Amino acid sequence: MRNLLLMLGILVAVAGVGSPAAAQNYPWCALYSAGGGGGENCGFSTREQCDAAVSGIGGFCQLNNLYVPSGGAYAARHRAR
C-alpha cells in the first residue's frame, strides 16, 4: 500500500512539472444580450466567426480592446492600415 501511494505521489509530481498554460488572445469579442445581463466571449479570430456565434441568439460583435497581436499575418495586415 505504501508503494502504491509513493507511486501515485511521484506520478502527481511529474504531471505538475509541465509548462504553464498561456492565455489565448483573440481580436473579436461576442457580447450576448440575454435580458441585459449577457456574457462575453473574446475567443474569435475573425468577425465572421463572431457573427456566426451571436446569430439567432442575440448580441453583437466588437473588437477586443485588450488584443495584442503576437506577430504573423494578422498583425502585419492590420498594422499597415
Helix then strand count (H, E) for the chain reads 3, 3
User: Quick check: is 57 in a domain?
Assistant: yes
Query: 37 is in which domain, residue-wise?
Result: 23-66
pTM of the model as a whole: 0.56
Count other C-beta atoms under 10 Å from residue 36's C-beta. 5
Compute φ and ψ for 7, nearest 5 degrees: -65, -40
The predicted-structure confidence for 2-40, as pLDDT tens digits, reads as follows: 787 777 777 776 666 766 666 678 999 999 986 667 799
Tally the domains of the chain.
1
- Decide if 53 is inside a domain: yes
43 belongs to a structural domain: yes
> Is residue 50 situated within a structural domain?
yes
Is 2 a member of any domain?
no
Burial class (CB in 10 A: 0-12, 13-18, 19+), 22: exposed
**What CA–CA distance (Å, rounded) separates 44 from 57?**
17
